[in-house]
Structure 1
Amino acid sequence: MTVTSLVLLGLAALLIGFAKTAIGGVGSIAVAVFALVLPTKESTAAILLLLLVGDVVAVWHYRHHADRALLARLIPAVLPGLALGAVVLARVDDQTLRRAIGGLLLVLAVLQLVLARAPVPRRLGSSRAAAVATGAAAGLATMTANAAGPVMTLYLVAQGVEKRRFLGTSALFFFGVNLCKLPFSAGLGLFAGETVWRTVLLAPVVLLGAWVGLHTARRLSQARFDQAVLAATVVSALALVVR
């Protein structure tokens, strides 16, 4: 692996930590970087382990702000989405998967922009159908592309969730989802020795990013938060689609 590749992975690890404790959309850039530097399927496993490192920090820091009642409506639909994502990973070739990741992120970014311009009525976000659709879409998106952040953003914004409640609920949700993804990824043989060692080397960088994110979140307004999520998603999606 070249020095440039190592630097890019280090920056991506920093963004993973930052995304977990501040601006979730920035994590989409890390997903794009890993998919550009590594074979796409290998990148999904490598980034999963680093996401779990950031999850632990985020859950611990925001544990008192998570909305468990809201999560209870989402969780039943997540496992079918994860199972479908595992099937896709097993059958789709590397280049197709990379483009699918980019297309998925771009579609979700457009949905976020539509939501920002014409807010979805709260009753839609509160319906059981919306919760089931969000859970299933999040499971599929996170299994295939580690890209369920924008899905959750749409749902939580439609709920009118305040920033710290947003961060706490997202942290607990993704920690549980990422733990569920471990056996799927292991069953597909994605955790090679090199992937594990790469995680060990990059984990301290994730922790540094999480620390920076915690300090940034305290100063970040809701409007800036939404703008940053959208910008990060668009940039990362375009990077994958045009490659």
Structure 2
Amino acid sequence: MQLIASFTFFQDTQTLLVAILAVFLVGLSKGGLGGAFALMGVPILALVMPPMQAAALLLPILLMMDAISVWTWRGWFDRATLWHLLPAAFVGIAVGALTAAITSEAFVRLIVGLLALGFVMRMTVMRAGALPRGQRWVSGSFWGAFAGFTSFVAHAGGPPFQVYALPLRLDPRLFTGTSVIFFAVVNLVKVAPYAALGHFDTKTLLSAAVMLPLAAVSTVLGAKVIQRINAQVFYPFMYITLTLVGGKLVWDGVSGFWL
């Protein structure tokens, strides 16, 4: 433990165990097992370190998970969905980088959470989830930009992506593979502005390196589970996950304003 403490943020056993839990849950999510786990990463790490330090620590780990996920889901992606979302996501990332100093993370989480819950309520009341919806440029541009922005400022890009992609009713493997590629590109683009804002240092990178073996194992495990789920189970599961994510984000946002 003393050896690890000398070059990482893991100064005690409690901090190390908290980091292990956070990375394991994020890895399950990156493998395809629901966005709720991914959103737990920063809040869990924030129990033992500052939130921005937690976000910076997770980004190199996310890149490793992305590489594994892209390989695992190779060949499974919907080109039209990426084409409708990614260009606008780059704009959202740029806005996030330019406004990072004045943007409240609590506000972003609250807005994203309310939108996610509103979307689930709408789909439930209208029962629109059973019929596929076509690609839409205006909608794709809005949600793509929103996903890029919220991913940059709060690692919370999952709900905006799901709001656009879930009604398309893609095959579960296509949905997961498309999500994997989308966030792999988004996270890669985020590296330069994160570095420019001074979020990376030697200790951050070494702390991330310690977590990489666990990141690999948990990502593969998440992919193995989701590959065995059919559409009749997958979509209800994803809507339940989005509801949990929305509730978690609203709670985090409200708590951030009051604490």
TM-score by length of 1: 0.88
Aligned residues of 2:84 and 2:136 also touching (Cα < 8 A): no
Write the letter of the residue equivalent to 2:163. Answer: L
Give the AA of the match of 1:156.
A
TM-score (normalizing by structure 2):
0.83
How high is the sequence identity, in percent, across the aligned residues?
28
The Cα shift of 1:182 comes to: 0.4
* Cα distance change of structure 1 residues 110 and 233 upon mapping to structure 2, 3 Å threshold: closer
> Map of 1:1-243 to 2, 5 A cutoff?
1-25=11-35, 26-92=37-103, 96-97=104-105, 99-117=106-124, 118=126, 119=128, 123=133, 126-220=135-229, 221-222=233-234, 223-235=236-248, 237-239=250-252, 241-242=254-255
CA separation in 1, counterparts of 2:212 and 2:115? 28
The runs of 5 or more residues in structure 1 that have no matched partner are none
Q: Which has the higher contact order (CA 8 A, sep 6+)?
A: 1
Q: CA offsets per residue over residues 182-233 of structure 1, 9 Å max, x none? A: 0010000000212101110111111121122122113332122332343244
* Residues 113-122 or 137-146, more deviating: 113-122
C-alpha distance in 1 between matches for 2:23 and 2:163? 24
Tell me how large the CA RMSD over aligned residues is: 2.2
Secondary structure at 2:198 match in 1: coil
Residue aligned with 2:110, SS = helix
**Superposed displacement of residue 36, structure 1:** 3.9
Q: Kindly tell me the number of residue pairs found equivalent between the two proteins.
A: 238
* Alignment check: 8 A CA contact 1:86 1:184 kept: yes
Inter-CA distance 151–166: structure 2 relative to 1 (3 Å threshold) = same
Indicate the larger mover: 145-154 or 67-76. Answer: 67-76
Matched AA of 2:209: V
Give the Cα separation in 1 of the matches to 2:42 and 2:200: 17
Q: Is the 8 A contact 1:85 1:141 kept in 2?
A: yes
Structure of larger gyration radius: 2
CA gap of 1:78–1:100, structure 2 versus 1, over 3 A, is same
The Cα shift of 1:116 comes to 3.7
CA contact (8 A) 1:23 1:228 kept: no
Go from structure 1 to structure 2 and tell me whether the alpha carbon gap of 1:69 and 1:113 turns closer, same or farther (over 3 Å shift): closer
Give how far 1:178 is off.
Answer: 0.7
Q: 1:122 to 1:214 in 2, by over 3 A?
A: closer
**Hey, which bits of structure 1, 4+ residues long, moved more than 6 A?**
none
Moved more, 175-184 or 218-227: 218-227
SS, match of residue 179 in structure 2: helix
How has the CA–CA distance of structure 1 residues 48 and 163 changed in structure 2, closer, same or farther, with 3 Å as cutoff?
A: same
Contact 1:101 1:237 in 2 (8 A): no
**Residues 31 and 147 in structure 1, CA contact (< 8 A), matched pair in contact too:** no
Distance 1:91 1:130, change over 3 A: same
Give the 3 Å change call, closer, same or farther, for CA 83–35 of structure 1 in structure 2.
Answer: farther
Going from structure 1 to structure 2, the CA distance change for 1:38 and 1:241 (only over 3 Å counts) comes to farther
